[in-house]
Amino acid sequence: MKTLLSIGHGYSAQALSRRLIPQGWRVIGTTRSEAKAALLAAQGVEPLIWPGDIAEALGQATHLLCSVAPDGAGDPVVRALGSAMAAARLEWVGYLSTTAVYGHHGGEWVDEDTPLAPTTARGAARVAAESEWAALGLPLHIFRLAGIYGPGRGPFEKVRDGTARRIFKPGQVFSRVHVADIAGVLAASIAHPAAGTVYNVCDDDPASPEAVLSLAAQLLGLPEPPMVDYEDAEMTPMARSFYAENKRVRNGRIKALGVRLQYPTYREGLAGILAAENSPDRG
């Protein structure tokens, strides 16, 4: 039996498990929460409270996916399990990173061969974590994710409750990706492993954040959220760090893998989220 050990079984990993379990896969997902463990069990995932008996799970796994972010001391999973993972008999290993590793490019295009030049602490930590994973000698695949959205992570709730703001910074664009397409890329990589490969995971249309909010309001039949200049906007340090970088991310390598995006732009993605919310079969 193919067995995926998913370390830090969060939003993107859950989307992948929804594909794999119906195909007969066994999925073991780690979490730190008893309440989350119950939710994972209801989805057909075998929950494991971290660290639990991680050595036994690792010994049973054929595939491993890590969704855990680095901390101030480096990558916590490599720190805890590096030697054990290196000794395991794994066919495929995936590490979820971020396009923040590329840094700021003034709105120009980047691809997987672009030199890594992070401009934020978050991006620098990911560059270091990628190196830690690569040093283990595993059949590693690195997935650099753009901004993730999907059911429960769309802009609709903020538009509905009136808290959304269209923050305007001239020329600013973001690449993004629907969670279903993240799962599609991971599944394609598992089906066609190529150890050592890095993939940018994003859609075809880098777009301004205000355009996304405007469409969300239009789909809901509500007024556009007010426009606020970037310099005047109240934002968390994390949110402001996203605006410190401006680039367009190419996704040609996932296309070469055979991936056909379910949501090639935010337009299809937002429409799909809203259609799912309104579906009589929801839940």
What is the pLDDT, as a whole number, of residue 239? 84
- Residues paired with residue 198 on neighbouring β-strands, in sequence order: 142
pLDDT at 88: 95
Gap between the Cα atoms of 200 and 177, Å rounded:
10
Distance from C-alpha of 82 to C-alpha of 212, rounded to nearest angstrom:
40
**Gap between the Cα atoms of 205 and 56, Å rounded:** 43
Distance CA 177, CA 145 (A): 8
* Single-letter amino acid, residue 90: L
Contact criterion met (CB below 8 Å) for 29 and 40:
yes
Domain residue spans in the chain? 68-277
Spatial separation of the C-alpha atoms in residues 21 and 77, rounded to whole Å: 24
Which residue type, as a one-letter code, is found at position 280? Answer: P
Whole-number Å distance between alpha carbons of 173 and 212: 11
Q: What is the DSSP string of 159-215?
A: HHHT---EEE-TT--B-EEEHHHHHHHHHHHHHS--TT-EEEE--S--B-HHHHHHH
3-state secondary structure of 97: strand
CB–CB of 79/22 below 8 Å? no
Instruction: Please report, rounded to a whole number, the percentage of residues in the chain having pLDDT higher than 70.
Output: 99
Q: Is the pLDDT of residue 85 over 50?
A: yes
Residue 260 has pLDDT above 90, yes or no: yes
Separation CA 152–CA 200 (nearest Å):
23
How many H helices and E strands in the chain?
11, 13
Amino acid making up residue 213: L
Q: What is the pLDDT of residue 188?
A: 98
Q: How confident is the model at residue 237 (pLDDT cuts 50, 70, 90)?
A: confident
Mean pLDDT in residue range 96-110? 97
Mean residue pLDDT across the chain: 95
Give percent above pLDDT 90 in the chain: 92
Asked if residue 99 lies in contact with residue 108, where contact means CB atoms within 8 angstroms, the answer is no
- Highest CATH level, class, for 68-277: alpha beta
Q: How far apart are CA 276 and CA 283, in angstroms?
A: 10
